[in-house]
């Protein structure tokens, strides 16, 4: 077994073997004892329950948070599936380096760290400060005509994600991306892993017009038709990633497993990030409790993935940017859920009468 494969298998093993510190019954009992009618904080209480189960009750400090942005290029961009040229991936890496991208701005507002990882940018970005240089190869092949990567390249990209996210010193780990044409790859991955039709998962991405959308649907349809002739692709996430994935999608897949392996909550961003989550859950069936869907993208394929994974997004701002921007916006909400457990008084501690008129725990 290669070193990359060993890293992945060890991380999966740690997730499977882990015993999350919070007992669901005990955490729910604590939530119901807080100074509010049970359930009155709605979905925030469900989020607090997840935080307590994964991180413990009370949870550790959630002040530290990190958003990873995995960057890579795609050979399929030559098919005219994006409104922007392929060189924008490298140009955006320069923007990340300079702190001027949306994720830089939004992460600053919530005090989160941004870590940009070049796992497959076609251009040389080695001279950019603040970019972690872990390039597996300079972009993928055209997924519509041939496999996007080799099996070894998929494993190498997965290992990058496992390593960087597994070593992150934070309990909140956001997973985002940058890569021109990566909604095409995400749509193909989603279609292969769910059985959904191309028209159900392909959206406008960067804002392509009607002709571009029709072309993109045909590209994804053709690619999926090539892959589904293989041995049940829905049960082989590694093969699907090899055939129609992206280097950053594979790295995000590994990052989610790596973060969960050290017990962190994983914030899933939009469509591309959720496609990686889908692949990660096929590789590690114990992963779903660690996943928090940060927001709902306007990309149609995102709804397909969310429904498949049974995830309910925290926010719906009609976004479709990527970069981990949804993760940054969701971080304060997750912190709020944790704060309910660590800071809010119970009826007993506050000496407040409960629904029956008695102060819980008071002597009769």
Active-site residue set: 323
Main-chain phi, psi angles of 30, to 5 degrees: -60, -45
The pair of three-digit structure tokens given for residue 282, joined into one six-digit string: 């096929």
The alpha carbons of the chain give a radius of gyration, in whole angstroms, of: 21
User: Can you read off the two tokens belonging to residue 147?
Assistant: 């496999």
3-class SS of residue 297: strand
Residues in CB range of 116: below 8 A, 6 or more apart: 68, 69, 71, 93, 96, 97, 130, 131, 132, 178
Task: Give the C-alpha separation, 196 to 66, whole Å.
Answer: 32
Q: What is the DSSP string of 313-354?
A: -SEEEEE---TTHHHHHHHHHHHHHHHHHHHPPBHHHHT---
Integer Cα distance of 244 and 145 in angstroms: 10
Starting from the edge strand earliest in sequence, which strands make up the sheet with 265-268, in order? 131-133, 113-120, 65-72, 172-178, 265-268, 291-293
- Pairing of the two strands 172-178 and 131-133: unpaired
Please state, in angstroms and rounded to a whole number, the distance separating the CA atoms of residues 262 and 14: 8
| CA 334 – CA 50 distance, rounded (Å) | 10
- Give the HSE-up count for residue 70: Cα atoms under 13 Å, Cβ half-sphere: 35
């Amino acid at each position: 077994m290669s070193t990359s494969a060993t890293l992945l298998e060890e991380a999966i093993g740690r997730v499977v073997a882990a015993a999350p510190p919070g007992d669901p019954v005990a955490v729910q009992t604590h939530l119901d004892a807080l100074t509010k009618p049970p359930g009155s904080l709605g979905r925030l209480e469900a989020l607090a329950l997840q935080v307590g189960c994964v991180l413990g009750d009370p949870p550790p400090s959630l002040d530290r948070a990190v958003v990873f942005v995995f960057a890579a290029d795609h050979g399929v961009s030559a098919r005219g599936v994006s409104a922007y040229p392929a060189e924008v991936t490298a140009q955006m890496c320069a923007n990340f380096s300079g702190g001027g991208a949306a994720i830089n701005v939004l992460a600053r507002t919530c005090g989160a760290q941004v870590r940009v990882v070049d796992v497959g940018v076609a251009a040389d970005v080695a001279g950019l400060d603040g970019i972690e240089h872990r390039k597996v190869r300079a972009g993928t092949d055209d997924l519509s005509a041939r496999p996007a990567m080799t099996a070894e390249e998929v494993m190498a990209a997965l290992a990058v994600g496992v390593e960087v996210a597994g070593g992150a010193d934070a309990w909140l780990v956001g997973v985002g991306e940058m890569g021109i044409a990566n909604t095409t790859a995400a749509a193909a991955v989603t279609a292969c892993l769910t059985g959904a039709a191309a028209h159900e998962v392909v959206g406008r991405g960067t804002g392509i017009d009607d002709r571009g959308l029709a072309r993109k649907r045909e590209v994804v349809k053709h690619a999926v038709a090539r892959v589904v002739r293989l041995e049940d692709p829905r049960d082989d996430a590694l093969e699907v990633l090899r055939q129609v994935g992206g280097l950053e999608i594979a790295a995000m897949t590994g990052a989610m497993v790596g973060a969960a392996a050290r017990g962190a909550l994983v914030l899933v961003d939009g469509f591309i990030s959720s496609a990686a989550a889908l692949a990660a859950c096929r590789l590690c069936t114990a992963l779903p409790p660690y996943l928090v869907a940060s927001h709902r993208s306007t990309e149609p394929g995102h709804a397909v993935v969310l429904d498949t994974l049974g995830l309910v997004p925290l926010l719906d701002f009609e976004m479709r940017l990527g970069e981990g921007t949804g993760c940054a916006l969701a971080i304060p909400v997750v912190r709020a859920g944790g704060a309910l457990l660590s800071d809010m008084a119970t009826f007993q501690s506050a000496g407040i009468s409960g629904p029956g008129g008695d102060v819980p725990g008071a002597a009769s």
